[in-house]
Chains A and B, each alone.
Chain A
């Protein structure tokens, strides 16, 4: 950030968005609408293929919402985010297989491992700023994958397979595709909501202060290193849970799932959707994960079409589909506030 507030970037309008569409999009019911659509989707199309795609997309939304905490809120460019998903997926897979446990019961171990991974990767790297941090996280992402590729416990290049399902109560198996889809939706919705709420809290504000101006944040008594480490740790937990769902979904984990391209795709979802705005990021993640499937008819040209589409979006909406806007309601005029206060006293 430059020292002065750069007013050349200032939008012309300073009023809050007032169009009908914008108001609709800012509505707090939008989350429920999205959830309803997700719940209703299998009633429209419940082929195994469609369920598979939708489950994958939901997991991708979880990853993007986690990376949004790190990149969008806190402004820390992380090019190796998929490493946390790898840690989550491998941990749950290995523990579940070794003790023949349903995946659900591996969550405490996954939680511990991802937090540890976040701290181990974050503690040395978060002292660096911007470009250096990006390069180091890129390195850590690759190190994680290559380590998994070479260790015996992670099954080497072929990975681990035959991972038990998430849970089985009597005859009811949560591993059935439709049930697993709903479990995924539930978990993802919870995490997305949690991430959005974190963004609007004291901690979320501290992340934004660090993103905007680290020195000024520090001068206000915000321990920027601790705050950044917290963002990283939360990002790691989100990624770890994505990994658990991933392992449950495929019942197999292999190093090829955690290549740099995957990190780049998650980052793209965040940037494309609108950094720092959870709603935009969810849409970005859905576009990134579903578009290649919708473009399947174009056969080998589909990634070309995908790329062109992304460039077009970046040209016309350089801050993403739906950038974070800093608006909040103004205070009510003084007379009104006094009227309320008087009414309160009389009561």
Chain B
């Protein structure tokens, strides 16, 4: 099986700080990969390099075998990468439906002349946009109002809409940056189930997450980062047993022994 995403020896530095320092990992089709690590380990920086918001200082990012390193975020999105942000980045004054329509920008179907003259093509494509937006909102299990500005909604609902927007992009690869942050237990359970349904659509998922229960349950492979480097990679069971991971999360005892207890 060919890899959807290949990250090879990725580096980025801000001044003297090496935020990502030689990260490599692959993601295959229909795979859920989690990237974990302590705060400041470089997870979000790595995401920003992959999606083009940062220009990596060295290394390569391949999407379905084609290099996307250092391209413009819009071009990378067009190539088939979609993402959510660590802190919500929605369009606060626009309606829920409009927010989801943002993910459909690349569908096209109309140009400015169609819009000015309200051609049948315009009406068809607008109807299709709306229907598709409703479909994705249904898909993520969103039940709130859809015609109101998104700033009025609860946090959990906003998170759902952000995922719906990213899904509407119909990308091969979905990057989720802390999708479970701030969600309660039942919302997390629904997120877990949603991840599996997204995977069944044929989309590969890479997620950054701090909730270890969720990570262990949802992901097939885990990449553990610390100080910009990958310190472990493997199945949840392998990672859980890895001494380097336990050290990164729990530290060492004073006498230098790695702690053996506790849930990493």
B186 within 8 Å of A (CB atoms): no
In the complex, the chain A residue whose C-beta lies closest to that of B87 is: A3
Which of B87, B115, B126 has the most chain A CB atoms closer than 10 A to its own CB? B115
CA distance A212 to B93 in the complex (A): 8
Question: Is A218 touching B116 in the complex (CB atoms < 8 A)?
Answer: no
B38-63 residues with Cβ-Cβ distance < 8 A to A are 51, 53
How far does the Cβ of B188 sit from chain A's closest Cβ, in whole Å?
Answer: 20
B130-163 residues with Cβ-Cβ distance < 8 A to A are 134, 145-152, 158
Question: Is B151 touching A10 in the complex (CB atoms < 8 A)?
Answer: yes
Which of chain B's residues have a CB closer than 8 A to the CB of A16?
A: 147-148
How far does the Cβ of B135 sit from chain A's closest Cβ, in whole Å?
Answer: 11
How many B residues touch the partner, as a band? 35 or more
How far does the Cβ of A97 sit from chain B's closest Cβ, in whole Å?
Answer: 31
Question: Is B151 touching A7 in the complex (CB atoms < 8 A)?
Answer: yes
Question: Is A218 touching B95 in the complex (CB atoms < 8 A)?
Answer: no
B71-91: CB near A (< 8 Å → 1, else 0) gives: 011110110001101011111
B127 within 8 Å of A (CB atoms): no
Question: Is B115 touching A204 in the complex (CB atoms < 8 A)?
Answer: yes
CA distance A1 to B94 in the complex (A): 13
In the complex, the chain A residue whose C-beta lies closest to that of B90 is: A5
Which of chain A's residues have a CB closer than 8 A to the CB of B73?
A: 215, 218-219
A328 within 8 Å of B (CB atoms): yes
Given A213-B90, A219-B51, A221-B106, CB of A327 within 8 Å of CB of B147:
yes
CA distance A234 to B97 in the complex (A): 26
Number of interface residues of A (CB under 8 A): 45
Question: Is A330 touching B106 in the complex (CB atoms < 8 A)?
Answer: no
Spot the interface stretch: A29-37, A106-114, A195-203, A250-258. A195-203
Question: Is A221 touching B145 in the complex (CB atoms < 8 A)?
Answer: no
Question: Is A212 touching B91 in the complex (CB atoms < 8 A)?
Answer: yes
Which of chain B's residues have a CB closer than 8 A to the CB of A3?
A: 85, 87-89
Question: Is A326 touching B134 in the complex (CB atoms < 8 A)?
Answer: no
B10-26 residues with Cβ-Cβ distance < 8 A to A are none
Question: Is B91 touching A216 in the complex (CB atoms < 8 A)?
Answer: yes
Question: Is A203 touching B112 in the complex (CB atoms < 8 A)?
Answer: yes
A28 within 8 Å of B (CB atoms): no
Question: Is A201 touching B151 in the complex (CB atoms < 8 A)?
Answer: no
CA distance A9 to B149 in the complex (A): 11
| 8 Å CB contact of A194 from B51, B97, B116, B129 | B116
Question: Is B110 touching A202 in the complex (CB atoms < 8 A)?
Answer: yes
| 8 Å CB contact of A201 from B51, B91, B106, B122 | B122
How far does the Cβ of A263 sit from chain B's closest Cβ, in whole Å?
Answer: 25
Question: Is B89 touching A197 in the complex (CB atoms < 8 A)?
Answer: no
In the complex, the chain B residue whose C-beta lies closest to that of A218 is: B73
A11 within 8 Å of B (CB atoms): yes
Question: Is B115 touching A220 in the complex (CB atoms < 8 A)?
Answer: no
A329 within 8 Å of B (CB atoms): yes
How far does the Cβ of A79 sit from chain B's closest Cβ, in whole Å?
Answer: 23
Which of A203, A218, A219, A230 has the most chain B CB atoms closer than 10 A to its own CB? A219
B98 within 8 Å of A (CB atoms): yes
Question: Is B77 touching A218 in the complex (CB atoms < 8 A)?
Answer: yes
CA distance A343 to B118 in the complex (A): 28
Which of chain B's residues have a CB closer than 8 A to the CB of A198?
A: 112, 115-116
Question: Is A206 touching B105 in the complex (CB atoms < 8 A)?
Answer: yes
B248 within 8 Å of A (CB atoms): no
Question: Is A6 touching B151 in the complex (CB atoms < 8 A)?
Answer: yes
CA distance A220 to B108 in the complex (A): 13
CA distance A176 to B264 in the complex (A): 85
Question: Is B98 touching A208 in the complex (CB atoms < 8 A)?
Answer: yes
A347 within 8 Å of B (CB atoms): no
How far does the Cβ of B218 sit from chain A's closest Cβ, in whole Å?
Answer: 23
Question: Is B88 touching A202 in the complex (CB atoms < 8 A)?
Answer: no
A216-239 residues with Cβ-Cβ distance < 8 A to B are 216-224, 230, 234
CA distance A197 to B115 in the complex (A): 6
B179 within 8 Å of A (CB atoms): no
| 8 Å CB contact of B148 from A200, A216, A326 | A326
How far does the Cβ of A278 sit from chain B's closest Cβ, in whole Å?
Answer: 13
In the complex, the chain A residue whose C-beta lies closest to that of B98 is: A205
Question: Is A224 touching B74 in the complex (CB atoms < 8 A)?
Answer: yes
A14 within 8 Å of B (CB atoms): yes
B114 within 8 Å of A (CB atoms): yes
Given A14-B152, A212-B92, A213-B89, CB of A220 within 8 Å of CB of B169:
yes
CA distance A326 to B151 in the complex (A): 10
A3-32: CB near B (< 8 Å → 1, else 0) gives: 111110111001010000000000000000
Which of chain A's residues have a CB closer than 8 A to the CB of B51?
A: 219
Residues of B within 8 A of A (CB): 51, 53, 72-75, 77-78, 82-83, 85, 87-95, 97-98, 101-103, 105-106, 108-112, 114-116, 118, 122, 125-126, 129, 134, 145-152, 158, 165, 169
Would you list 29 pairs from A and B whose C-beta atoms are within 8 A, ordered by A residue?
A: A3-B88, A4-B88, A5-B90, A5-B151, A5-B158, A6-B92, A10-B151, A11-B152, A197-B116, A197-B118, A198-B116, A202-B115, A203-B111, A205-B94, A208-B98, A215-B85, A215-B89, A216-B85, A218-B72, A218-B74, A219-B51, A220-B103, A222-B74, A230-B112, A326-B95, A327-B147, A328-B146, A328-B147, A331-B146
What 3 pairs across the A-B complex have the smallest Cβ distances? A201-B115, A221-B77, A212-B91
Q: Apart from A200-B115, A326-B94, what are 11 other A-B pairs with CB-CB below 8 Å? A: A5-B158, A14-B152, A197-B116, A208-B98, A212-B93, A219-B85, A325-B149, A326-B149, A330-B146, A330-B147, A331-B134
